[in-house]
Amino acid sequence: MVRAGVALLLAGSLAACGGGGGNGKTPTVSGDKGFGSIPEAADTVQAGGTVDIALSPGLAPNYIYPNVPAVFNGTTVAPSQLWRPLYWRSTGATAAVNDELSIAEPPEYSSDRKTITIELKDSYTWSDGEPVVADDLVFSIELIRAALKEDASNWSYYTPGQFPDDLASVEATDEHTVTLTLTTAYNPGYFDAFVLGNLIPLPAHSWSKASDDGPIIDFRDPANAKATFDYLHKASQDQKSFATNPLWSVVNGPFKLKGFDSSTGGFTLVPNEEYSGPQAAQVDEVNYLPFTSPAAVFNQVRAGNLTVALLDSSYIDQLPTLESTGYNYYGMPKEGQVNSLFLNFENTTNNFDKMIAQPYLRQALQHLIDQPGYIKSKGIYNGAAAESYSPVSAASANAPGFGDKAPYPYSIETAKKLLEDHGWKVVDHGETTCVRPGAGDDQCGEGIPEGQKLSFNLFYANSPTSIAARNTAFIAAAKKVGITIESAAKATNFMYSNYDNNFAPENKDKWAVQDSGPINLGGYPTASLIWSTEGAYNAGHYSSEEADSLMNESISGEDPKALSNEATFLGKDLPVLYMPNPSNIVVWKKTLSGDPDAFANITQGFLTPEFWYYAG
């Protein structure tokens, strides 16, 4: 549900499904937070040519079956370019559904929202000439069910208790219509994003078998579905045969796999001549090239050897140079990303739980974070980030009520006043202590004793460097009002494993604040899983009845504004301390043109190379 948060890079995008193109000559961007520019599409098209794209360092593909298990999320071979998802959840740099690129008409929900009717467009065919039909979607869902019966990690987008656990029935009611009947009612926005957006019709007429030479079997029989899943999963482990196995040659996307290098994960796509969708591929080949490091990617861009690449933000100073040598560039933060300081509401060390439970204290801490300053700072983001005060961006259709205005803007004075108004004696650059204990409005708060010092620890991920830099700035600001923060860098994996009260409850008194980098909540960024009281990934056990109610409405209610209401509350209640969202920076050769959306969407982890062409 919370998708590959750390994998901002190209390979991650390949697993996440496609997005892009088709609706205009100017880029669709989230407000004015992007930087760089995307030129209009060139009028003259030079057909053919080869595009070389950099794969994300360390994330080269090694799996191909498109209903991807969690362990391979982010390392699957271009699923959206080979197999089209039901709904294309990206339009330029926004997370809006792109109707043109979706292979189904918008879903219809019954009045109780428990029956969903999906009509597949009748124009799509598989590369072997067979039509894409309702059974292909049913087949895919049955495979997901079979996979999850074996192992809860076998489908990356699975949330226990939700789809497909609550799927009462799935039926192909005619050749192109599928009806899902659920035992649970969902908010359509949530179900569209987290379930329908991740479903991919698969070629039942070709894949519904248990061995290479076996007969086509009835996938509605759970035993057959299990046998088929096992067969496809096993075939997906033989990387050397990815490009030669006839299974993977049956596609309905604009490309097919020409070559795959099992030793590096590099691969080549060529146009699917039988593609029946809205935009056929215009270049002859797209090479996805493996890279060992961001430096190696940059070196190849610098030498002019790559057509398209995502650059590490540390190279932002080099963008003007690259522009002068023939590259366009564009940057934009990823939608639905939480990039914040997580708080531990259960850490009893030095009464941190009592202190952080006080809303005024969280507000004071948020006032100490200079988001605009961090973004401008050469040593932190150097301009390549956007302010962020809730999981939903200000430019989203579900934007919080406060828009792009910071609820608690940077102000040392305001932070100081908040503390003093609540019974703390603030000693600038010293030790601020509680002098008025008690639960009254002008007192420190329940459980905070007289003489309590405002000090706690903060662990942050050792990469990227912007994380260390922003925390250094925050700690310095805190010291100005007498708050002492002891910090240390840790490996991200170590933090995942050790600083989470669900997974490592024995360590709950060891960490107070942590910054482990971004978590991506997807195109409909409800924070239920990370901040609801029972949230599976609620690392610091934040709990608020009102937040729970609003998040529940985002998931199960029918109010289309539910997500906006949730974001507004969470932006003000501060389950975390919000930090800026760094931009993803894409560069591409000026000779490569196409719909601006098809370049803007790369920053969001979606690729639509079929819209690219060389200018004549």
Partner 1 sequence: MARYLARRLATSLVVVIGISIVVFLLLNAMSGAPGRSVLGPSASPEAVDAFNHKEGFDRPVVVQYLSYVQGLVQGDLGRSYKLNQDVGELLAQNAGRSAMLSLAALLLALAVAVPLGIYQARRRNRRSDSAITAATFMLYASPQFFLAVVAIEIFSVQLQLLPAQASQSRSAFVIFTDPRAMLLPILTLAAANIAIFARYQRSAALDQLGQDYIKVARAKGVSERKIVRSHLLRNSSLPLITLVGVSVPALLAGNLVIESVFNYPGLGLLFINSLAREDYPVLLAYTLIGGVLTVLGNLIGDLLVAIVDPRIELS
Site for partner 1, rule CB under 8 A? 1-6, 58, 62-63, 70-73, 75, 151-154, 158-160, 236-237, 239, 261-264, 266, 289-293, 295-296, 299-300, 302-303, 305, 491, 493-494, 496-497, 500, 502-503, 516, 519-520, 536-537
Supply the minimum distance, in Å, between the C-beta of residue 10 and partner 1.
15
DSSP 468-485: HHHHHHHHHHHHHTT-EE
Amino acid at residue number 231:
Y
* Number of CB atoms found within 10 A of residue 171's CB: 13
Supply the minimum distance, in Å, between the C-beta of residue 334 and partner 1.
14
Sheet of strand 592-594, all strands in order from the earlier edge strand to the far edge: 45-46, 612-615, 592-594
Task: Give the list of residues 6+ apart from residue 576 with CB closer than 8 angstroms, or none.
Answer: 338, 340, 341, 342, 343, 542
Contact yes or no for 554/36 (Cβ under 8 A): no
Supply the minimum distance, in Å, between the C-beta of residue 62 and partner 1.
4
Supply the minimum distance, in Å, between the C-beta of residue 490 and partner 1.
12
Residue 580 CA to residue 570 CA, distance in Å, equals: 16
Burial class (CB in 10 A: 0-12, 13-18, 19+), 493: exposed
Q: Which CB, 71 or 168, lies closer to partner 1?
A: 71
Closest CA relative to residue 487, chosen from 473, 500, 498, 501: 473
Q: Give the up-direction half-sphere exposure of residue 213: CA atoms within 13 A in the CB hemisphere.
A: 0
Q: Which CB, 211 or 502, lies closer to partner 1?
A: 502
Residue 107 CA to residue 355 CA, distance in Å, equals: 47
Q: Which CB, 271 or 535, lies closer to partner 1?
A: 535
Q: Which CB, 237 or 348, lies closer to partner 1?
A: 237
Q: Which CB, 207 or 537, lies closer to partner 1?
A: 537
DSSP H stretches of helix in 67-133: 79-82
Supply the minimum distance, in Å, between the C-beta of residue 63 and partner 1.
6
Q: Which CB, 93 or 322, lies closer to partner 1?
A: 322
Supply the minimum distance, in Å, between the C-beta of residue 611 and partner 1.
27
Supply the minimum distance, in Å, between the C-beta of residue 2 and partner 1.
4
Residue 180 CA to residue 199 CA, distance in Å, equals: 12
Please state whether 211 falls in left (phi above 0), alpha (psi between -120 and 50) or beta: beta
Supply the minimum distance, in Å, between the C-beta of residue 1 and partner 1.
7
Residue 612 CA to residue 328 CA, distance in Å, equals: 14
Task: Give the list of residues 6+ apart from residue 229 with CB closer than 8 angstroms, or none.
Answer: 143, 146, 147, 150, 154
Q: Which CB, 111 or 263, lies closer to partner 1?
A: 263
Q: Which CB, 37 or 299, lies closer to partner 1?
A: 299
Q: Give the up-direction half-sphere exposure of residue 82: CA atoms within 13 A in the CB hemisphere.
A: 26
Supply the minimum distance, in Å, between the C-beta of residue 12 and partner 1.
11
Q: Which CB, 18 or 517, lies closer to partner 1?
A: 517
Q: Which CB, 350 or 507, lies closer to partner 1?
A: 507
Cis check: omega of the bond before 164, within 30 degrees of 0: yes
Q: At 149, list the tokens.
A: 């019966």
Supply the minimum distance, in Å, between the C-beta of residue 158 and partner 1.
7
Q: Which CB, 248 or 537, lies closer to partner 1?
A: 537
* Number of CB atoms found within 10 A of residue 144's CB: 23
Q: Give the up-direction half-sphere exposure of residue 521: CA atoms within 13 A in the CB hemisphere.
A: 22
Supply the minimum distance, in Å, between the C-beta of residue 57 and partner 1.
8
